[in-house]
Amino acid sequence: MARGDGTLSHDLLPGEKGPQDACGVFGVFAPGEEVSKLTYYGLYALQHRGQESAGIATSDGSQILVYKDMGLVSQVFDETSLEALQGHIAIGHTRYSTTGGSIWSNAQPTLGPRPDGTVALAHNGNLVNTEELLALVEERHGGQSRGEIARGNTTDTALVTALLNTEGSLEDSLAEIMPRLHGAYCFTLMDERTLYAARDPQGIRPLVLGRLERGWVVASETAALDICGASFVREVAPGEMLVIDEQGLRSRQVIEPKPKGCVFEYVYLARPDTRIAGRSVNESRAEMGRRLAREHPVEADLVIPTPESGTPAAIGYAQESGIAYGQGMVKNAYVGRTFIQPSQTIRQLGIRLKLNPLREVIAGKRLVVIDDSIVRGNTQRAVVRMLREAGAAEVHVRISSPPVRWPCFYGIDFASRAELIANGLDTEEIARSIGADSLGYISEEGMIAATEQGRGALCTACFSGEYPVSLPDPVARAQGIPASANSAPLEHRTVKEPA
Ligand code: SF4
């Protein structure tokens, strides 16, 4: 669909936004390397995590330069801009907005003053206590906004940048502020001489450390290490800070880890060629498909994915069920990358901008269509209608995650609670609403088992309502979460359906 800035988003239909990730981060310390180009390719590998803006900051040891703009990594940077970004330290960011709108002043990395220089910060995740942090900024700076906040940056990242402007080393400032941040954060940050990385104590979003021959890389996903030739070393631990300078790499466990990795990274968000907590994302998705086939079998002729995100689970479903696998729809992968507004005629075709059926494959067949999730249901309704128009005899929809009933506050923009189709309708009603002959969701247990992680080490809040980091009451109220359900201790608050 067309956005206000004239670009087409990845949304299939007006009013139907799929789950959106909240950014990718990258950092590199590598004397003798072209760090801006390493960061460019790292961000290229993380483009799926955010397509609204991109930015890179570099330092040569004495000065930080930053270049950022709205658009995709390939639209923002060219040889000339990368050439200007000299140095041996760099951080980079691709953005999808959660806190703060999609405008230039909210693009990252953010820059802020420090007593001894400048800090540049890139953030993946979303903080839930921004009101508290804003009050802290005002308390510390006497109500006078400085830096990016004064220039109109409305993000939680700008608040953190402002709070890093304290006496002492940047390392100590970061260690001091980390325990005051509630929610999800993976940071890459730098001053003129040092690269830092930090992860929230729940480790909600992924962050990994890699080794180059002449330096170190930190990135949201292992796929970004692969693209720049870095070997995987380990994950940045929840609650850990890394400090990388000419002396090498140091680690500081700032907060006791309480791991709660986002299960939706395995379902949809991360690239299939990424590994999280030692588990291949592609293999997790294929296993979700195999389990889905056992939990919700159906007599059919062909298993097809909703491309691309449903593909590994569809392969798994076909393997387990013995039903043939085929490609029944072709995705136009570049639709989200044009600045040309669709004409009225094209817009009315809706989903055809993005997906087109292969009639000769699906005509007369009983289909099993595999998708990763249902948010509002508009996409699945359009897919089912399109497949029937193309001659499908039956359309059975299978979903490789449980019903999404709760909003995410940790960096994924699903929809408000009222907009979620599974918040109010049961599975049969949803099947009727989207026009499917049958509908089956994988169980929560099946999804978790496919990740090979313990239930206690995962956030499943959008499915279960169990929020691992407490929500300030105004935030919960704004999203329709009952106040009575949001009164558990700050560290672990569980939200249940009202009786
Ligand atoms: S609420 Fe859902 S999407 Fe958000 S962090 Fe938890 S599991 Fe991930």
Q: Collect all residues with Cβ–Cβ distance below 8 Å to 338 and sequence separation of at least 6.
A: 7, 8
Least confident of 96-105, 150-159, 219-228, 400-409: 96-105
> Does residue 199 have a pLDDT over 50?
yes
Residue 187 has what pLDDT?
97
Residue 143 has what pLDDT?
61
Residue 492 has what pLDDT?
34
- For the domain covering 23-259, report its CATH number: 3.60.20.10
- Do 472 and 412 form a contact (C-beta atoms < 8 A)? no
* pLDDT digits 0-9 by tens, 134-192: 899 988 887 666 667 777 777 888 899 999 999 999 999 999 999 999 999 999 999 99
> Does residue 87 have a pLDDT over 70?
yes
Cis peptide before 307 (omega within 30 of 0): no
Give the model's confidence band at 16: pLDDT under 50 very low, under 70 low, under 90 confident, else very high. Answer: very low
Q: Is 186 a catalytic site residue?
A: no
- Mean of pLDDT values over 471-484: 69
Which residues are 215's β-sheet partners?
212
From residue 288, alpha-carbon distances to 169, 320, 400, 452 in Å are 46, 11, 6, 11
Per this entry, what is the length of the chain?
499
Residue 346 has what pLDDT?
60
Which residues are 27's β-sheet partners?
91, 218
- What does residue 265 show for φ and ψ, rounded to 5 degrees? -60, -40
Amino acid at residue number 173: S
Domains of the chain, residue spans:
23-259, 280-455
- Mean of pLDDT values over 252-260: 97
Centroid of chain to Cα 412? 6
> Does residue 8 have a pLDDT over 50?
no
Which ligand 1 atom lies nearest to the CA of residue 19?
A: 3
Using a 10 angstrom Cβ sphere, with 0-12 exposed, 13-18 middle and 19 or more buried, the burial of residue 335 is middle
- Mean of pLDDT values over 458-467: 95
Least confident of 71-85, 274-288, 348-362, 388-402: 348-362
> Does residue 342 have a pLDDT over 70?
no
Residues 23, 28, 54, 374: which is the catalytic one?
Answer: 23
Give the model's confidence band at 29: pLDDT under 50 very low, under 70 low, under 90 confident, else very high. Answer: very high
Residue 50 has what pLDDT?
86
Residue 266 is classified by DSSP as I
Residue 17 has what pLDDT?
47
| Topology (CATH) of 280-455 | Rossmann fold (3.40.50)
Residue 343 has what pLDDT?
64
pTM confidence score:
0.90
> Does residue 335 have a pLDDT over 70?
no
Distance 219 CA to ligand 1 centre (A): 20
Taking alpha carbons only, the member of 389, 382, 400 closest to residue 439 is 400
Distance 136 CA to ligand 1 centre (A): 27
The residue nearest atom 5 of ligand 1, judged by CA position, is 262
Distance 182 CA to ligand 1 centre (A): 15
Least confident of 67-71, 250-254, 268-272, 322-326: 67-71
- Do 109 and 68 form a contact (C-beta atoms < 8 A)? yes
Residue 98 has what pLDDT?
54
Residue 317 has what pLDDT?
98
Q: For a substitution probing ligand 1, which of 410, 413, 463 has the most ligand atoms within 8 Å of its CB?
A: 410
Residue 485 has what pLDDT?
43
Which ligand 1 atom lies nearest to the CA of residue 461?
A: 1
Residue 150 has what pLDDT?
74
> Does residue 431 have a pLDDT over 90?
yes
Q: CA 110, CA 127: separation in Å to the nearest integer?
A: 16
User: How many C-alpha atoms does 314 have within 13 Å on its Cβ side?
Assistant: 25
Q: Which helix (H) or strand (E) holds 197?
A: strand 195-199
- Mean of pLDDT values over 452-465: 96
Taking alpha carbons only, the member of 8, 419, 48 closest to residue 268 is 48
Q: Which has more pLDDT, 145 or 439?
A: 439
Q: Which has more pLDDT, 349 or 491?
A: 349
- Do 354 and 12 form a contact (C-beta atoms < 8 A)? yes
Give the model's confidence band at 281: pLDDT under 50 very low, under 70 low, under 90 confident, else very high. Answer: very high
Give the CA radius of gyration of the chain: 23
Report the share of the chain in percent with pLDDT over 70: 85
> Does residue 380 have a pLDDT over 50?
yes
Average pLDDT score, the chain = 87
